Amino acid sequence: MSESLKAPLERRDEPLRLVVLGSTGSIGCSTVDLISRHLDAFEVVALVANRNVDRLAEQARSLGAKRAVVADPTYLAALRETLSGTDIEVAAGEVAVVEAAAMPADMVVAAIVGAAGLAPTLAAVRQGRAIALANKESLVCAGKLVMAEAKRHKATILPVDSEHNALFQVFEADNAGRVEKVILTASGGPFRTWSKAEIAAATPEVALRHPNWQMGARITIDSASMMNKGFELIEAFHLFPLPADRIDVLVHPQSTVHGLVQYCDGSLLAQLGAPDMRTPIAHCLAWPNRIQVLAARLDLANMGTLTFEKPDVDRFPALGLARAALAKGKGAPVLLNAADEIAVAAFLSQRIGFTDIVSISEQTIEAADRSGDLIEPDTLEVTLALDAVGRRLSRQAIENLATGTRAAAGGSR
């Protein structure tokens, strides 16, 4: 385990001062739910959202936050109006988001979706905060940079992602050299048993119907394609001191065992829990202690059977693509994330098909490689520039696809 994961979080008698980035999203709302049940233990310094002013204002009022921030500046007036009569400060824009992330606090919950989460997460890391990290894109895009900065500034990275949180709970730092491999489990998503042809015809409506987890739209689609598991593989590579070929993925449809660590003596240690993100979030908020969570408890006797199977990389090529991007390095994972963000949005607005998400992502990396745009993302600026290249190339690939489709439709008339 990296140095930054080993450092125990200093706990004091006073409440833990928290910033929640992405408080209005799925992880953000689960975090707010936990805070509201332990009001004595936490003090909310700032809450950040993109545009959901009503929910943000309601959270800020109920938790007594000092500051509420929207990333989209066109929503500032609405936020100000909604919070008038309170002494909650309001702010808007990307700079304000980064400033909120760096406010004096003990912990920052990084739960913005996408590459937009990188700059504020890095700002919090550079203040030496404890980071409850849900925004896996920070590590996918700039894992080396984020972990190096965490070490330099003595920031503690606590993984919220259920699989990485599971590994964190059972990974014995003192026996890191005796770990043979770690295993991330995957539910397999809604298309686990579907044929390639059925998957190709999948609609946004069915792809958004995850069998076990309630999550934001982007991660739900990424779970259906297994791109999410590919991102998690890259995330695990940066969090745990193991080469990529010792990070395995196992499909486990019940989403009960979240992660496993195999040691040299043959022991396989696992963490189990109901599929409720409040458990791993609470683990991070309270670490190295524990707090009460009213999530469902597992009833193993009632469940009876837990099953595991190998992922089918033929029907779910995203996993192989993510492994290849990690092996290629030089910013290929940044391109993969940018292209996936653009392609998932295009799929949700029905401009491309489900399987196009992965092919657009692959084409984007190939195009960047051909044009010599791939470069090590060793600063925030380089990472953001690569992200912009990925967005431009993937939009182009989507346009080419649409033009090709229109031409084919025209030709057949």
Ligand X SMILES: NC(=O)c1ccc[n+]([C@@H]2O[C@H](COP(=O)([O-])OP(=O)(O)OC[C@H]3O[C@@H](n4cnc5c(N)ncnc54)[C@H](OP(=O)(O)O)[C@@H]3O)[C@@H](O)[C@H]2O)c1
Residues that bind ligand X (CB under 6 A): 22-28, 48-52, 71, 97, 111-113, 116, 134-137, 161, 213, 215-216, 219, 277
Tell me, what amino acid is at 318? A
Closest CB to ligand X among residues 250, 375: 250
In whole angstroms, what is the distance from residue 196 CA to residue 180 CA?
A: 33
Sheet of strand 107-110, all strands in order from the earlier edge strand to the far edge: 89-92, 67-70, 42-49, 16-21, 107-110, 130-133, 156-159
Name which of 169, 176, 184, 182 is nearest 232 in CA terms.
184
Closest CB to ligand X among residues 43, 161: 161
Tokens of 349: 């607005």
C-alpha separations of 209 from 203, 251, 295, 357 in Å: 10, 18, 21, 17
Residue 163: CB minimum distance to ligand X, A: 8
Residue 100: CB minimum distance to ligand X, A: 10
Closest CB to ligand X among residues 222, 373: 222
Residue 230: CB minimum distance to ligand X, A: 12
Q: Residue 309 carries which DSSP code?
A: B
In whole angstroms, what is the distance from residue 377 CA to residue 393 CA?
A: 18
Closest CB to ligand X among residues 119, 261: 119
Q: How far is CA 194 from the centre of its chain?
A: 26
Q: How far is CA 154 from the centre of its chain?
A: 22
Residue 27: CB minimum distance to ligand X, A: 4
In whole angstroms, what is the distance from residue 366 CA to residue 364 CA?
A: 5
Residue 378: CB minimum distance to ligand X, A: 22
Angle between helices 53-63 and 26-37 (to 10 degrees): 20
Q: H or E stretch including 18? A: strand 16-21
Closest residue to ligand X in the complex (CB): 25
Residue 146: CB minimum distance to ligand X, A: 13
42 close to 15: Cβ distance less than 8 angstroms: yes
Residue 346: CB minimum distance to ligand X, A: 17
The contacts of residue 322 (CB under 8 Å, 6+ apart) are: 227, 229, 230, 231, 233, 234, 333, 336
Tell me the three state secondary structure of residue 265.
coil
Residue 26: CB minimum distance to ligand X, A: 4
Closest CB to ligand X among residues 219, 332: 219
Residue 231: CB minimum distance to ligand X, A: 7
21 close to 117: Cβ distance less than 8 angstroms: yes
Sequence-ordered alpha helix ranges (H) in 49-203: 53-63, 76-82, 94-101, 118-126, 136-152, 162-170, 196-200
Closest CB to ligand X among residues 25, 311: 25
Closest CB to ligand X among residues 5, 27: 27
Residue 1: CB minimum distance to ligand X, A: 20
Closest CB to ligand X among residues 25, 331: 25
Closest CB to ligand X among residues 215, 358: 215
Residue 283: CB minimum distance to ligand X, A: 13
Tell me the three state secondary structure of residue 38.
coil
Closest CB to ligand X among residues 142, 219: 219
Tell me, what amino acid is at 378? D
Closest CB to ligand X among residues 333, 373: 333
Q: H or E stretch including 334? A: helix 332-348
Tell me the three state secondary structure of residue 281.
helix
C-alpha separations of 40 from 66, 275, 322 in Å: 16, 27, 42
